Amino acid sequence: MMIFENPRVTGVMINYYFHCKRQLWLFANQIEMEHSSDLVLIGKILSNSFYKDKQKEIKIEDLIAIDWLNFEDGVIHEVKKSDSFEEGHIWQVKYYIFYLKKKGVMVKGKINYPKLRVVRDVELEYGDEGRINEILSDIIKIVRSEEVPKREDKKKCRGCSYFELCWT
Ligand code: SF4
166 CA: nearest ligand 1 atom = 4
pLDDT tens digit string along 36-69?
455 455 455 445 544 545 556 777 777 788 888 8
* pLDDT surpasses 70 at 84: yes
Give the residue whose CA is nearest to atom 3 of ligand 1. 151
pLDDT tens digit string along 13-33?
999 999 999 999 999 987 665
Q: What is the pLDDT of residue 44?
A: 54
CA of 83 to the centre of ligand 1 (A): 18
Cβ–ligand 1 contact at 25 (below 6 Å): no
Task: pLDDT band for 130, please (50, 70, 90 cuts).
Answer: very high
Q: What is the pLDDT of residue 22?
A: 95
Which among 32, 148, 162, 164 is the best mutation to test ligand 1's pocket, defined by most ligand atoms within 8 Å of the CB?
Answer: 162
DSSP letter, residue 6: S
**Residue 89 main-chain phi, psi, to 5 deg:** -60, -45
Cβ–ligand 1 contact at 166 (below 6 Å): yes
Closest CA to 148 of 20, 35, 3, 40: 20
Of 159 and 113, the structure prediction assigns the larger pLDDT to: 113
Write down the pTM of the prediction: 0.81
CA of 89 to the centre of ligand 1 (A): 17
* Alpha helix segments (H runs only) across the chain: 11-19, 21-28, 38-50, 87-102, 128-144, 163-167
Q: What is the pLDDT of residue 31?
A: 66
